[in-house]
Amino acid sequence: MTFWMRILLVWVLILFGSYAQSFKPEKNASSLREPGEGDDRLIMVSLLFGIGYWLLVSFRHELLQNTSPSLDRWLHSVFRPDPAEFWIRALAVLLLFLFGIYAQDLTNKRRNAARAIRENENRLRQIIIQMPYPVMVCDTEGRALMINRCYQKLFKVSSEKIVDQYNVTKNENWERLGLAEIIQRAFQGETVHIPKIVIDHQEDFHGFASDETRILEGTLFPVFCQNSRIRHIVTIWQEVTHQILAEEEKDKIHAQLLQAQKMEAIGILAGGVAHDFNNLLTAIQGNADLTLLDINDKSPHYRDLKQIKIAAGRAADLTKQLLLFSRKHLMGFSLLNLNQSIEGLLTMIRRLIGENIMVKTNLSSDLWTVKADRGTLEQVVMNLVVNARDAMPLGGRLTISTGNIKFKDIPVHHMGKASSGAFVCLSVTDSGIGMEKKTIQHIFEPFFSTKEPGSGTGLGLSVVYGIVKQHGGWINVYSEPDHGSTFKVYLPAIMKKAEKTHNDPSITIKALQGNGERVLVVEDDINVRNFIVSALDRAKYDVISAGSYEEAMNVFESEKHHFQMVLSDVVLPDRTGIDLVDAMLNINPNIRVLLGSGYMDEKSQWPVIQERGYRFLQKPYALMDLLRNVKSCLQSKPHKRRKVHKNEPAVS
């Protein structure tokens, strides 16, 4: 090999080494030029190598030709070589230059490809970091390589404490949660789903305790290389605590809705059953009373008839209790003595709470009067009694007390609820399990219940609260765990005497007899109608009966409207009793009106009856109740005439 060829080879090797050096990774990725920015370093090096080669070959030629080389001859060899030498040198320089261009092009392509890879990696890294789900990337050994911000926020850990420190496969919680096999499958190349797990606030999930309980679910999946080998394992978590709680709350509300619908259905059923029972009891009680008028107390049937009346009275109490708990009652405010209402409920209360609970009453002898609805007030007492019974599953002591109280300066524990003035206090105390303060804060909320699902509606105390508020009062609760509870109801007092119940046993049937007044009885139940007709006949009233609106109007027209009183059931087969009496009053404004019903819900038309001022007699009623109300009604003033227009819709 000639000398100049050796020199050329050396230059080529040096140039190749320079090209290979360009494959070394750069420490600062940001120093890479953008695509399109050329790097001519290798081209310039190859050009310099070509010039150097030309000069060295010229110098060698001078040394070979002359024993004493001179600068002039060397410069002459450089710039004016022999033609053959010139083309050899030119070809060598051209080859070096072309190789430099080719090497530079490869280098630029390699750098652009490396830059694109780094940009993609950075882009993917930023995507992972900013994902709204907690993400962890691990190697094939389970060692954490990266976690994003959501992961740090969820588990309350920093990247420094997890990356290269935490190993997924060595987490002891997987074994405890029964997920070790699922995690292992992910490292074998499967995509696996981690079902809902509860991470308690006292647990050490990552070696660092959290401060709250969370419900999580996650997915693990492998990332493969081009040769189908696993490169990374990615874990994506999702916190579903709020969704689970929302679902539970939804299920709870749905269950409450179903329970409320059941209660509504029971209420509708109770109203219908009560109506039928009240009609039957009216006929039973009334006919028993009529038969007792025909025999003396020495008759062998007298005792049997008394037992029939007692049984009918008990049945009426049971019907009343059913209506109280189904919340179907008529609202009518009157002046009441709370002691009388409680005494009237004691028999029902003792039957309701059972024999293992002792009932004690402490009723004030000089109790003030309250203006209240008797039915709803009795419901307050019954609901509080039932609540006390449920708090004493093993038995105990129930105390019902009443008293008078005046507030000048409102006590601190009454602030926000009370007002100054005179009040009647109803207190119901039990010796049961008691309640914590946290429970007391929620007991008046609708559907709140501490009982097992299906054993309570959660409406009892909320109904009590609503009724007491409607009466202008408030309720306080005093309770401690294992020390029983006391519910105190405060109702505004009225400094007037309570209205009499008109059950004076000294009044005889003779005192309630009529003087031949004409009474139109309108009742669709034939047994009740026969009892009323018989009772008024015996009481010396002139009675005509009808079973419907149309029949009653026909009788009214045929008798020339000559009636002093109409006694009608509210619910008739064709129209309502209110429609009937309105029509009759338009014709005869002096006729007296007495309405009756066995219904205790909207079918009784109670608001309309109150608005019109009609007298009302609730079924079931006994003989004396009927005669007393008829007598009182006939002695009352006539109703003011109410004009009913021809196109006015009927009351329904």
Domain ranges for the chain, please list them: 40-126, 132-243, 332-410+418-501, 509-635
Structure tokens at 64: 């070979």
pLDDT at 229: 87
- List the one residue out of 611, 449, 588 whose CA is nearest residue 518: 588
pLDDT at 199: 73
Flag the least confident range among 355-369, 399-413, 638-652. 638-652
- 322's CB contacts (< 8 A; 6+ apart) are 270, 273, 274
The Cα–Cα gap between 344 and 354 comes to 18
Fold of 509-635: Rossmann fold (3.40.50)
CA 384 to each of CA 478, 489, 590: distance values in angstroms, whole numbers, following the listed order: 13, 10, 46
* Amino acid symbol at 333: F
pLDDT at 563: 93
The Cα–Cα gap between 516 and 564 comes to 10
Within 10 A of 63 (CB to CB), how many other CB atoms are there?
A: 11
Containing 292, the helix (H) or strand (E) segment is helix 241-294
Decide: helix, strand or coil at residue 232: strand
pLDDT at 520: 95
Tens-place pLDDT, residues 146-162: 888 888 888 888 888 88
Q: Where are the alpha helices (DSSP H) in 22-166?
A: 41-65, 71-79, 83-130, 149-155, 159-162
Contact 235, 218 (CB under 8 A): yes
pLDDT at 535: 92
pLDDT at 173: 75
Contact 386, 505 (CB under 8 A): no
Confidence of residue 591 (pLDDT cuts 50, 70, 90): very high
Fold of 332-410+418-501: Heat Shock Protein 90 (3.30.565)
Whether 122 shows a pLDDT value over 80: the answer reads: yes
Structure tokens at 493: 């007092």
Fold identical between 132-243 and 509-635? Answer: no
Contact 118, 126 (CB under 8 A): no
Fold of 132-243: Beta-Lactamase (3.30.450)
Contact 183, 192 (CB under 8 A): yes
Q: Given 3-state DSSP classes, what are the helix, strand and coil percentages for the chain, each rounded to the nearest 5?
A: 50, 20, 30
pLDDT at 31: 39
Flag the least confident range among 16-30, 200-214, 598-612. 16-30
Please report the DSSP string for 192-220 in residue order: EEEEEEEE-TT--SSSS--SS-EEEEEEE
CA 160 to each of CA 146, 153, 164, 168, 235: distance values in angstroms, whole numbers, following the listed order: 10, 14, 8, 16, 18
Containing 344, the helix (H) or strand (E) segment is helix 338-353
Q: Name the DSSP class of 507.
A: -
- List the one residue out of 12, 10, 6, 16 whose CA is nearest residue 95: 12
If one compares 355 and 21, the residue with the highest pLDDT of the two is: 355
- 265's CB contacts (< 8 A; 6+ apart) are none
